[in-house]
Amino acid sequence: MHAVTRLGTSAAIISLVTFSAMTSTLDTAAASPGANDATTVPLDADLRQCDFSLVRTAPMVPHPLLGTGSAVIRRAGSRVVAEVHLVDASGPGTHFNVELIQEPRPSLAGCGPGDPGTAFSGLDTDAAGAATMTLQDSIRPGTTGVWVMIERPDGNSQNPGAYYSSEFVAPV
């Protein structure tokens, strides 16, 4: 009976040590590019300005998080590549605009189509509301990081109908 308890305790300790080591490795890889040269960035339901600051509206209108997503961002020579994943089950067959924006940029600088340090593409979800696409751009001199913005246009407003943005600026 005692041998089984010791074996169970040993297995639990080994599992805990292994899990702790894996978690530490994953945290480091997600926080900085390191050896694999890729940073995984979660997407949040935040609307941001071109300088990555949050858009604050008054009064604050709640925006439900309808989907989830992430971007895997890496440097490939003189280019930055973002593989964007989005799942928005409430919107199968929906079109989104995807922007890859280089930082730093002045708060008054635009980040629309054709503006320096930006790349744009479209993303259409499948019947399950999922989509993946790759967007890339040449890295401009002085760029220290990039982030992704996803917006669903709203036909009745200039504001997007849904939006997701990088949780943090990924270093390049």
Q: Which residue has the higher pLDDT, 67 or 117?
A: 117
Q: What is the pLDDT of residues 18-49, one digit of tens each?
A: 333 333 334 433 444 444 589 999 999 888 99
Q: What is the pLDDT of residues 80-136, one digit of tens each?
A: 999 999 998 877 899 999 999 999 998 788 898 989 999 999 999 999 999 999 999
Q: Are 134 and 81 in contact (CB under 8 A)?
A: yes
The pLDDT value recorded for residue 128 is 93
- Burial level of 22, CB count in 10 A (0-12/13-18/19+)? exposed
AA letter at 116: P
| Alpha-helix runs per DSSP H in the chain | 2-31
Place of tokens 């305790």: 9
Residue 159: HSE in the Cβ half-sphere, 13 Å Cα cutoff: 10
CATH 2.60.40.2150 fits 36-171, yes or no: yes
Kindly state the tokens that stand for 123: 């993303």
Place of tokens 């940029």: 105
Kindly state the tokens that stand for 168: 């943090």
Q: What is the largest CA-CA distance in the chain?
A: 72
Cα(163)–Cα(44) distance, integer angstroms = 8
Q: What is the pLDDT of residues 141-153, one digit of tens each?
A: 999 999 999 999 8
Residue 5's SS3 state is helix
pLDDT at 59 over 70: no
Residue 86: HSE in the Cβ half-sphere, 13 Å Cα cutoff: 38
For the chain, give every domain's residue range.
1-31, 36-171
pLDDT at 161 over 80: yes
pTM to 2 decimal places: 0.75
Count of beta carbons in the 10 Å neighbourhood of residue 98: 22
